[in-house]
Amino acid sequence: MNFDNWQTQLRKGLLDIVILNLLQHGRFHGYEMVRQLKKIDGLKIREGNIYPILARLQTDGLVTCTTEASLDGPPRKYFKLTDLGQKALSEMNDHWNLVVQGIEGITKGADQ
């Protein structure tokens, strides 16, 4: 089995839910989000990952973006969860918990 390939696919699949969960705690600009997400062990985020996903989430109406001036350089784009995004996140988290519980159940079963 190609473990790296599996990790890559897992990361790509998880990024939507991870980004939405982060935005649940407030608005962030892309660079901050990358820094936060890099702290998640095992996710192994690549720094460019989030930008196409944020663009897609915007298109889907799950996040909105506002541009504001900053003291440290060019204007920054701040991303924020929409009500629709909040609802979608809630469903995604429920689903994720089901999957995790299911996997844990199988793991425990296999151990016994």
Partner 1 sequence: MNTENKTWQGIKTSYLKQVKEALQTVGHPRSKEVIDDVCSHLDQRFAELEPQQQTWENYQAIITEMDPASDYAELLGSDQTTSEKNISYKFMVLLGLISTGILLTMIILPKYIPRKEQQNETSDRNELSFDDDPRLIGDWQSIDFVNSLEVFSPSKKFWRGDLFLKNITFRPGGKTSMSFTWTKGWLRCADAKAQYYLQEIEGSEYLFMPRLSGDVTIRGRKPGYYVLVKKEQAAKKTQQKDTSDAETKAVQVALDWLKLLDQHEYGRSWDEAASFFRQALPRDRWINNMEALQKPLGGVISRNVMSKQYLTSLPGAPDGEYVVMQFNTSFENKKSAVETVTPMREKDGIWRVSGYYIK
Binding site for partner 1 (CB under 8 A): 12, 15, 29-32, 34-36, 46-49, 51-56, 58-61, 68-74, 77
Q: Which lies closer to partner 1 via its Cβ, residue 36 or residue 64?
A: 36
* Closest by CA position to 37, among listed 27, 56, 50, 53: 50
Instruction: Report whether 36 contacts 87 (CB < 8 A).
Output: no
| Residue type, position 31, single letter | Y
> CB 105 → partner 1: shortest distance, Å?
31
Start-to-end CA distance of the chain, whole Å, equals 25
Q: Which lies closer to partner 1 via its Cβ, residue 25 or residue 108?
A: 25
> CB 112 → partner 1: shortest distance, Å?
39
